[in-house]
Structure 1
Amino acid sequence: MADRALEELWDDTVARGAPFDARSVAHLPAPAQRYLRHAIAEGTPLAHAVRLVMHGEIKLGGAWSPFDAEQVIHAARGFVWRARVRMKGLPVRGSDRWVDGAGALDWRLLGVIPVARASGADVSRSAAGRAQAETIWLPSILTGVEWRARDDAHADVKVSIHGESGHVELGVDERGALREIVFDRWGDPEQKGTSSTFPFGGVIEDERTFEGFTIPSRVRVGWFFGTSRWDEGEFFRATIDHATYR
């Protein structure tokens, strides 16, 4: 099912758009201009989707487990993240997704035995926030949206995908390279059985250029970013190995 969902989302794309013109972002706040001109090379056809290949480690049950994964992010419809995680030496396969406004997760030991399955309003709301933040891997989405500068190194961007909107704060350096991301995400990181909004985000430790797009290539993310609880909230570390754009 995860395979079909990811491939269907990837196949449902249109041709890349007009070439990026740096003059088109001249009206934006300074940190937004620096970021977009750094992230998108002049003349790069703007993409509507990206397919990522990645590896890393994820914290499950208090322990870090290695994973390898593919992800498709679609500008109009959402994302599917399909992965294989090794927990105590055993493979767990499955996916997280938010497509056309509906979020779900489905994970199975040995690809057969259910380990975690969830859907519904809370899962969808949390996954929508993730989709909005992960536009850092598809920066063409961020060229025609609303930006507001906090200072010379930080700007809020309003991201809308499939009718769901949210604000994400990006921190950039003097070159425009992305250094951190933070936003309020819906979820239940304290596992109390009730969801609410909590600080979420992470740091960008490296970047790479693929097909004219310079994107984060090594990231660490999690709950409670920017607070004293970040050490306990961090749960995902990933390295992007390849990115293909459509």
Structure 2
Amino acid sequence: MRHLCTFIALSLLLSITLFGQSENAVISDADIARLPIPVQRYLRYTKTIGKPFVTWVELTQSGQMKLKPDAEWIPLHAKQWYRVPEVAFEWQGWVKAAPLFHVRATDFYDNGVGSLKIRLWGFIPLGTAEGSEVSEGELMRYLSEIIWFPPAMLGENIAWEAVNDTLARATITDGGLEVSGDFHFDPDGRLTAFTAIRYADMGDGEFRLADWYAPVSEYADFNGWYLPSKGSAVWLFEEGDYEYIRLKIESISLK
């Protein structure tokens, strides 16, 4: 909760600071001209042209999570907040691990530092993951999720490379960290997946680099934005694929 209060306070301050500069600013074709063609198509597909630049994003999610490759799927609901163009987010997800055991997971990233904290009933600590591998992983997560707030694709902290007509590679730099990932599109500009090589937490403090795949399956209208509404995330381990989360966006607000 302390993280969240500080996060919201800083976000409001940033929004107030930037408001006078961007009050009347909307995204134009000229703004996106420097981006790779498939990214330009995506910005048009999501109806971003003519929309304002954003500094704050809030969304709610429902879905399922699998805690281990051989575990059963369990229900999940979550809320998430982002700051833009400053790179920061907090995600709070709730799962019912057993009839009387409700667990809250908090993913956090701000200024080059990321963490994952697990608490029983929201306040009894069960575990924490921190360190350089976690921070890089959380920055990668932010990069993969800018699909929900497309104006962030115009950020000066993201360098784009056109790989081909339906694939663009992005490198994001923040807080002394740098990660890269690939955005996959169809010919109409619809994003179909994000892929990257990312650190996987294998438990007991062990991390290893592995292929990470986040496909998008559906889109929906959110107050005039046409954005991905369903997707999942999969670790592509040598010993087999591990799909660990399936999400549906219930609501999203871009301000």
Range of TM-score over shorter length = 0.7 to 0.9
Specify the code of the residue in structure 1 equivalent to 2:58. R
1:175 pairs with one of 188, 195, 201? 188
What's the counterpart of residue 63 of structure 1? 72
What's the counterpart of residue 123 of structure 2? 112
Q: 1:241 to 1:60 in 2, by over 3 A?
A: same
Percent sequence identity over matched residues? 28
RMSD (CA atoms): 2.4
What's the counterpart of residue 12 of structure 2? 11
What's the counterpart of residue 74 of structure 1? 83
1:216 & 1:152 partners in 2: Cα distance? 20
Q: Secondary structure at the match of 1:195?
A: strand
What's the counterpart of residue 143 of structure 1? 154
Task: Output aligned runs, 1:82-231, within 5 Å.
Answer: 82-89=92-99, 90-144=101-155, 145-189=158-202, 191=203, 193-224=205-236, 229-230=240-241
1:165 & 1:27 partners in 2: Cα distance? 21
What's the counterpart of residue 53 of structure 1? 60
Structure 2 unmatched ranges of 5 or more: none
Residue 79 of structure 1 contacts residue 98 of structure 1 at CA under 8 Å; is this kept in 2?
yes
What's the counterpart of residue 235 of structure 1? 244
TM-score of the pair, normalised by structure 1: 0.87
Deviations 1:151-196 (A, max 9, x none): 221111222344533222111112211111101112334x474323
- Report how far residue 244 of structure 1 moved: 0.8
Once structures 1 and 2 are overlaid, which stretch shifts more, 157-166 or 127-136?
Answer: 157-166
Specify the code of the residue in structure 2 equivalent to 1:112. F
1:32 & 1:215 partners in 2: Cα distance? 14
Detail structure 1 runs of 4+ shifted over 4 Å in the superposition: none
Residue 218 of structure 1 contacts residue 240 of structure 1 at CA under 8 Å; is this kept in 2?
yes
- Report how far residue 72 of structure 1 moved: 0.7
Deviations 1:16-56 (A, max 9, x none): 83201023323433212211221243210011221111111
Deviations 1:90-111 (A, max 9, x none): 2112411112221122222222
Q: Secondary structure at the match of 2:119?
A: strand
Structure 1 unmatched ranges of 5 or more: none
1:209 & 1:169 partners in 2: Cα distance? 24
Specify the code of the residue in structure 2 equivalent to 1:26. A
1:64 & 1:79 partners in 2: Cα distance? 25
Specify the code of the residue in structure 2 equivalent to 1:20. I
1:212 & 1:178 partners in 2: Cα distance? 18
Once structures 1 and 2 are overlaid, which stretch shifts more, 136-145 or 8-17?
Answer: 8-17
Deviations 1:103-136 (A, max 9, x none): 1222222223322222222322221221222211
1:186 & 1:12 partners in 2: Cα distance? 33
